[in-house]
Amino acid sequence: MQFNSYSYLVLLIPVTVLFWYLPVAWRKWYLLAVSAAFYASWSVTYAAIPYALIGMSWLVARRMIGASTEKDKSFWLTVGIAAVLAVLAFFKYRDFALENANIMLTSLGATPIRTTLQLALPLGISFYAFEAVSYLIDTRQGRVRDARFPDLALFVTFWPHMIAGPIVRVREFFPQIEKPKPFNTLLLVEGCDRLLWGLVQKNLIANNLAGWVSEGFMPQAAAANSTLDNWALAVGFGLQIYFDFASYSNMAIGASRLVGIVLPENFRFPYHAASPPDFWTRWHMTLSRWIRDYLFFPVNAKYKGAQGPLYLSLLGIMALVGLWHGAGWGFVLWGLFHGVYLALYRMWEHVTETRYPQWAKSAAWGWFWRVFMLAAAMLAWVPFRSDSLGQAVTMLKSMLFSVQFHVSYSLNFYLTVALVSLFCALEPWLCEQLRRRLVPQGASVRWPVWNIALARPLIYAGALLLFLIFDDKDVQFIYFQF
């Protein structure tokens, strides 16, 4: 079931109602059962994989806690992380590794490796594998205590965030199931707000861009595109993936609030970023903090912030972020692009701190980095979306060097990209205006009668109408493939 399917939306109503009618002691088990059923609805065959990872992580964590020496604790942490990553690599990177190994073997005149094993990618494995790793590391560092297996299972498999995030931390989730919240009208309304806004983002915006983008990124079309076409397609895909992924995050956050659980935010107007580091505090925020806390900080602590290792670590870590997204060199190149952006900005910061401190306060430099980051982010989406590196190189050459300005697609495509871009530019202001007018402020929250009886019903009706009108394209969420 997709979040924007009729079956999911209809079933969500009785699931929510029954949750609040159940005794508190039963609710955790109820959520476990619902989450298991939700994941099994995608594939009964692969339904056991997350629970196997959970069981392995739980056993390893218990061995770490019971270990008598720091050396033994570190040994068990290494074993646990290696096991989780081995499962992830087997399902996600097996074919990619085999393909590249065969290219090397063929170039050396050796016989390529042949296999008949065909396995689908288990849905959400990249996300729940990262959560299992974070649980192991946090246990090793003493940030979380020994967890009961049902609590850990619910943490990993809780259906709103299991497939495509937000990536949650144990210390964010456990307190909410140990001390459940009482029924709260505000939380329920916030959940409905986020759920309906996510539906509109997906059906009205992301899915309407999807058709144009898919046509323009077809290999035959990409070879004939002009500079204007390719920039419009890069911007179009940048907007599509933003509204597609943000819609999923909003619906996940909304559904979880319906059952009294608050998930962390995942997006904060990323195309308004003031710099490359700022972009990663706005885009896929829960992945960014995971990478920061479990990769970037430990690596740079080892080298005590030296400039050379800092720049190399940015390139290496962002390449891994790209590889995490997908088993393909285009994803790695996307990560390397962002690694270069981050390294360039850190170099600029180093120069301003040591030689030209006045630059740091310059409005001109501030605007330069804003424009640079917006254009650079769109440029990086090209290898991310392209079918091959060759196609990505062709499109990038057209965008930067072989300049042509003819148009290859319907005028509606360019107008759609322009209108969605305008909406994206106004989105922070629009959201703030709606928040001020529709969300009661202050310590004692009281909902005005006009809000409950008139404004919200009208807004909900309008959102549902837009969802139904534009529900003519069956487009899967982009991040489901990761």
Q: Which residues are catalytic?
A: 325
Alpha-carbon separation of residue 88 from 75, 92, 237, 332, 333 (angstroms)? 20, 6, 27, 17, 21
Tokens of 306: 């030296």
Whether 247 contacts 206, CB under 8 Å: yes
Q: Report which DSSP code applies to 480.
A: G
Alpha-carbon separation of residue 79 from 117, 203, 323, 366, 395 (angstroms)? 27, 43, 22, 46, 43
Whether 424 contacts 271, CB under 8 Å: yes
Tokens of 181: 């919240």
3-class secondary-structure state, position 141: coil
Q: What is the 3-state secondary structure (H, E, C) of 252-285?
A: HHHHHHHCCCCCCCCCCCHHHCCCHHHHCCCCCH
Q: What φ, ψ does residue 46 adopt, rounded to 5°?
A: -95, 5
Is 459 exposed, middle or buried (CB count within 10 Å of its CB: 0-12, 13-18, 19+)? middle
Distance, in Å, from the CA atom of 222 to the CA atom of 387, rounded to the nearest integer, reads: 10
Question: Taking the chain, what is the end-to-end CA distance rounded to the nearest angstrom?
Answer: 17
Q: For residue 235, which of 104, 332, 377 has the smallest C-alpha distance?
A: 377
Crossing angle of helices 170-178/125-140, nearest 10°?
90
Cβ-defined contacts of 392-396 (< 8 Å, 24+)? 392/330, 392/333, 394/222, 394/223, 395/222, 395/225, 395/230, 395/233, 395/234
